[in-house]
Chain A
Amino acid sequence: MAFGDAPPSITNVSLRVQAGEFVSLIGPSGCGKSTLLRLIAGLLETTSGSLRVSQLTPAAARKDAVRTAFVFQDPTLLPWRSVVENIRLPLELLRVPPDRHADLISRSLHLIGLRDEDCGKRPRNLSGGMRMRVSLARALVTDPQLLLLDEPFAALDDMLRQQLNEELVRIWSERGWTGLFVTHNVAEAVFLSQRIVIMSSRPGTIAADVRVPFPYPRTTELRGTAEFARLTADVSRQLREAAT
């Protein structure tokens, strides 16, 4: 599969992701990680080759067969809507019957750990971390089968990022969606995923596919182990090679 006119932004990409798998995509800036995610979401179309989500084109899969959610780098909340109203948005757009809204929103709030007193607040009154939680809650409210995350925690401080990583792993273990996570952070990719796909510099292609052997549930203690440090160093080395 490829995307982009000459020169293409990604080329010769061949990748298969199993249902329920959590895969991270890492690579140098501009290698086409986010483009690949948008292609999978059906927001862009490939210029050659084929891409299938559950045997359908991504746009058709998203419309008819596979509940797909996307978490952007910025929280992309609607500033005129409260926390709850922002989380409700996908349900309104997908015309989910209103009598089911309260239940789905409450489950999503519970998963993300948002407090009741925050529900009525507007995005402007929330911290960066809280906004990202709301963005995650909005993505999870439709109970997606495919969750695409485009560097969602890049703008957060390290402590908050680690905390949200732990929560994301927990939620994935509970809900079992297929996850594709774009990041620049090798430790984050190692902590979260079952597989790490390393992309080369533009035009992006797949340089390496690394299996992460650590069992779930993964907790913060994992980060202190020698195996974690070894694998992070190894992936970092492969990333450096892919970038040159």
Chain B
Amino acid sequence: MTPNAHSWSRAILPPLLLFVVVLVVWEVAITALRVPKFILPSPLAVAQAAWKYGPELRTGLAFTSGAAITGFLASFVIGTLIAIAFSQSSLIRSSCYPYAIFLQTVPIMAIAPLIILWFGTGFHSVVLVAFIISLFPIITNVTSGLLAVDPDLIDLFRLNNASRWQVLWKLRLPNSVPAMCIGAKTSSGLAVVGSIVGEFFAGYSEKWYGLGYLIPAWKEGLKQDRLFAAILASTLLGLAIFTLVNVISASVLSRWYHVPNDES
């Protein structure tokens, strides 16, 4: 086994094993204690519901992931641009930062209905909710990355008569890449939560829906096996997007500090 495959198996095998153990204990406990299905369905019942309602879950997954990824990408680009503006002027930073914190503290469940009211139902409103909830970690992390530059490096650039643009492009932005990756990891998970919350209040159209529509619909009907299947699908979606961003971050960071294939 190569060292890489070895570290992967060490990262994946233990949680997978724990997952299987939890499922087995859950299944046995439900059967032994005769827990009613509407209180807590067994893993087998959830699996059967997931299989039976596969088409609905797939549609939900497709729309929720589309909204989450779009919201996340928008927050990454716009959050980075806002952070750049913050890094260029302490006046802009001190004037606007309290409002950026507002994004973090505002209860999204409270403003999501307002967003739907103002902008109507549909994909764009769900994306907007995902965008709002995932914007703050990008702003705060990228701003710190842009500002946390070694003062000697700033002096080095000044000594070589660097322009403000050169300092930003050749020093501050590259310096902020590790912080950008941390922000992206936090933000990607939040974008999934945001898109599901957005879907609680808004469908995409009469025909199309996301997981955030299925969850309350199935909860109302006490269809707990389907509800659990939808919750599981949401969790897996969050995990998949987080893992994807993590893999991209790790690859970017390793290229940042080490030349690929540099054995030394």
Contacts and interface: CB of A to CB of B under 8 A. Distances in A.
Interface in A38-89: 38, 41-43, 62-63, 68-70, 72, 74, 76, 78-80, 82, 89
10 contacts: A41-B159, A72-B155, A79-B256, A79-B257, A89-B160, A89-B170, A93-B157, A122-B257, A122-B259, A142-B160
Nearest to B162: A93
Interface residues of A, number: 27
Given A68-B159, A80-B177, 5 more contacts: A70-B155, A89-B160, A92-B170, A120-B262, A142-B160
B166 interface: yes
B152 A125 contact: no
Nearest to B155: A43
Given A69-B159, A76-B153, A90-B160, A121 B166 contact: no
Contacts of B262: 120-122, 125
A72 B170 CA distance: 19
A121 B259 CA distance: 7
Nearest to A43: B155
Contacts of B158: 43
Contacts of A175: none
Contacts of B150: 74, 76
Interface string B230-264: 00000000000000000000000000111100101
Interface string B181-208: 0000000000000000000000000000
Interface string A115-133: 0000011101100000000
B171 A94 contact: no
B120 interface: no
A172 to B, nearest CB: 19
B174 interface: yes
Could you tell me the dominant secondary structure of chain B's interface residues? helix
Nearest to B161: A63
A94 B157 CA distance: 10
Contacts of B152: 72, 74, 76
Interface residues of B, number: 22
B92 interface: no
B256 A80 contact: yes
Contacts of A93: 157, 160-162, 166, 170
B156 interface: yes
A122 B150 CA distance: 18
A92 B152 CA distance: 18
B159 A70 contact: yes
B261 to A, nearest CB: 10
A92 B174 CA distance: 16
**Most interface-central of A62, A78, A80, A93 (chain B CB within 10 A):** A93
Contacts of B259: 82, 120-122, 125
Interface in A13-53: 38, 41-43
Contacts of B257: 79-80, 122, 124
B257 to A, nearest CB: 5
Contacts of B156: 70, 72, 76, 89
B263 to A, nearest CB: 9
A78 B174 contact: yes
A115 B259 CA distance: 17
Given A63-B161, A78-B153, A93-B157, A122 B174 contact: no
Contacts of B159: 41-43, 62, 68-70
A93 to B, nearest CB: 4
Interface in A197-240: none
Contacts of A41: 155, 159
Interface in B199-237: none
A76 B159 CA distance: 13
A13 B166 CA distance: 35
A80 B159 CA distance: 21
